[in-house]
C-alpha cells in the first residue's frame, strides 16, 4: 500500500512539473522592461531589483531585461505608455509625469505644492488615491503592480539663488513634456522650455538653458554642479512617483502563481527603490544635501513664508488643473494629505 501511495504522489508531482514546464515553454526567453534612467539612479535600482527578485523567485521562468533611456521608443518618454498598451514594450517602471499625456489623472502628482512632505506622498500612493489611480491605469490598458519613487523635484540654475518668484523672472528653465509644467513656470515668471533629458544636458552645458528641475538623486549622480547648476532651491513643489506595469496580454500569459510572484517582486523592489530615492534626504540623514554643498553649491531651503509665496502665485494653475484632473480625485487627495 505504501508503495502505491508513493507512486501516486510521485505521479502527481511529475504532473505538476509537467504543467509548469508547459507554461514555461510558452513564456518568452526575455521580457523587455522600459525605464528612463538606469542604476545607480533609484529608478534604475528599483527596476534592476524587480528583475533580480523575479528571476530568483520563478527559478528563471521569467527573465526581465531592463532597457533604460526609453530606447524602446527612441528616447521619447511620453510615448512609453502607449507602447506598453500596444505590446511594443512588455513591462515598464514608468513616471507619472511621463504618462500623464495619456492618463490625465496622473497630473495629480504634478499639482503645485499639493504634497508638502514624504508623509503626504505616501498618503496618496499607499491609500485610496493610489488604489483609484491603479483602477484608472487598468482601464487605460496596462496592469499596475506597485509604486516606486523618483522623488521630490527641486529647482536648480546657473544664474541666481531662488527665494522668491521674482528671482525666477526671465530664467530659461528646462521642464518635462507635460503642459502643467509650462503653466506653473510661466505663472512664476520663468521661461519654461520643454525638452528631453538627452537634449537638456548639452543645453545646460552651453548655457542655452539656465536651469532645470529634478530630484536631487539625479542632480547628484549626474554631477550637475559641473553643468553650471550651482544654485539649488529645495521647495518640494511636486513629486514623481513611479509605477510598475505589465502589458495585459503578457500578464495573462503567466500562470496565476507566477503573476503573484511578479506582483510581490514589484512591491518589494518598489520599497527598495523608495529607500534609495530618500537616502540622505530624510530625518537626521542629510548626507546627500551635505555632499552637494561640498561642491560649493548654494543650497537654499525655503522658509514657510517663502514657500507660501510660490503656493499663492501657482494657485490659479492648481485650480485650473483640478478641473482637468477631476475634482473628486483631487478632493480625495487633499483629504488624504490633511489626514496623513
214-238: per-residue pLDDT in tens? 999 999 999 999 999 999 999 999 9
Which pTM value belongs to this model? 0.90
Question: Can you give the pLDDT at residue 24?
Answer: 54
Per DSSP, the three-state class of 300 is: strand
Per the structure, the complete domain to which residue 31 belongs is given by: 2-338
Of 16-25, 124-133, 181-190, the poorest mean pLDDT is in 16-25
Per residue in 272-291, pLDDT tens?
999 999 999 999 999 999 99
CB atoms within 10 A of CB 297: 17
Would you state the pLDDT for residue 196? 80
Confidence class for position 4, pLDDT limits 50, 70, 90: very low
- Assess whether pLDDT exceeds 60 at residue 23: no
What share of the chain has pLDDT > 70, as a percent?
93
- Across the range 103-110, mean pLDDT stands at 98
Among the residue ranges 8-17, 169-178, 202-211, 223-232, the one predicted with the least confidence is: 8-17
Dihedral, 128, 103, 246, 53 alpha carbons, nearest 10:
-60
For all residues of the chain together, what is the average pLDDT? Answer: 93
Write the burial class of residue 150 (CB in 10 Å: 0-12 exposed, 13-18 middle, 19+ buried).
Answer: buried
**How many domains does one find in the chain?**
1
CATH number, domain of 271, equals 3.40.190.170
Q: Quick check: 5 pLDDT over 50?
A: no
Percent of the chain topping pLDDT 90: 87
Q: What is the predicted pLDDT for the residue at 245?
A: 98
Q: What is the pLDDT of residue 78?
A: 82
Cα separation, 262 vs 252, whole angstroms: 12
Amino acid at each position: 500500500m505504501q508503495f502505491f501511495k508513493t507512486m501516486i504522489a510521485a505521479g502527481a508531482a511529475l504532473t505538476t512539473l509537467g504543467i509548469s514546464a508547459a507554461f514555461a515553454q510558452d513564456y518568452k526567453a526575455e521580457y523587455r522592461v522600459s525605464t528612463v534612467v538606469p542604476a545607480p539612479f533609484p529608478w534604475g535600482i528599483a527596476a534592476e531589483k524587480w528583475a533580480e527578485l523575479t528571476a530568483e523567485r520563478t527559478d528563471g521562468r521569467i527573465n526581465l531585461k531592463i532597457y533604460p533611456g526609453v530606447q524602446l521608443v527612441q528616447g521619447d518618454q511620453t510615448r512609453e505608455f502607449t507602447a506598453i498598451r500596444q505590446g511594443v514594450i512588455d513591462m515598464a517602471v514608468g513616471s507619472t509625469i511621463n504618462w500623464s499625456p495619456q492618463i490625465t489623472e496622473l497630473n495629480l502628482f504634478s499639482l503645485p505644492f499639493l504634497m508638502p512632505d514624504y508623509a503626504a506622498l505616501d498618503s496618496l500612493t499607499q491609500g485610496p488615491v493610489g488604489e483609484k489611480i491603479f483602477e484608472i491605469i487598468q482601464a487605460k490598458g496596462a496592469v499596475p503592480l506597485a509604486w516606486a519613487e523618483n522623488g521630490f523635484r527641486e529647482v536648480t540654475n546657473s544664474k541666481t539663488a531662488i527665494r522668491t518668484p521674482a528671482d525666477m523672472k526671465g530664467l530659461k528653465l528646462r521642464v518635462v513634456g507635460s503642459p502643467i509644467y509650462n503653466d506653473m513656470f510661466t505663472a512664476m515668471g520663468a521661461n519654461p522650455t520643454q525638452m528631453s533629458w538627452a537634449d537638456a544636458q548639452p543645453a545646460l552645458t552651453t548655457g542655452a538653458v539656465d536651469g532645470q528641475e529634478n530630484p536631487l538623486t539625479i542632480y547628484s549622480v549626474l554631477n550637475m554642479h559641473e553643468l553650471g547648476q550651482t544654485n539649488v532651491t529645495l521647495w518640494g513643489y511636486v513629486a514623481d512617483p513611479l509605477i510598475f506595469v505589465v502589458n495585459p496580454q503578457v500578464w495573462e500569459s503567466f500562470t496565476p502563481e507566477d503573476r503573484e510572484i511578479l506582483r510581490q517582486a514589484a512591491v518589494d523592489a518598489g520599497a527598495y527603490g523608495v529607500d534609495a530615492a530618500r537616502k540622505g534626504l530624510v530625518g537626521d540623514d542629510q548626507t546627500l544635501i551635505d555632499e552637494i554643498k561640498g561642491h560649493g553649491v548654494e543650497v537654499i531651503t525655503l522658509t514657510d513664508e517663502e514657500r507660501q509665496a510660490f503656493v499663492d502665485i501657482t494657485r490659479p494653475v492648481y485650480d485650473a488643473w483640478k478641473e482637468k484632473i477631476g475634482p473628486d480625485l483631487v478632493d480625495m487627495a487633499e483629504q488624504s494629505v490633511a489626514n496623513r
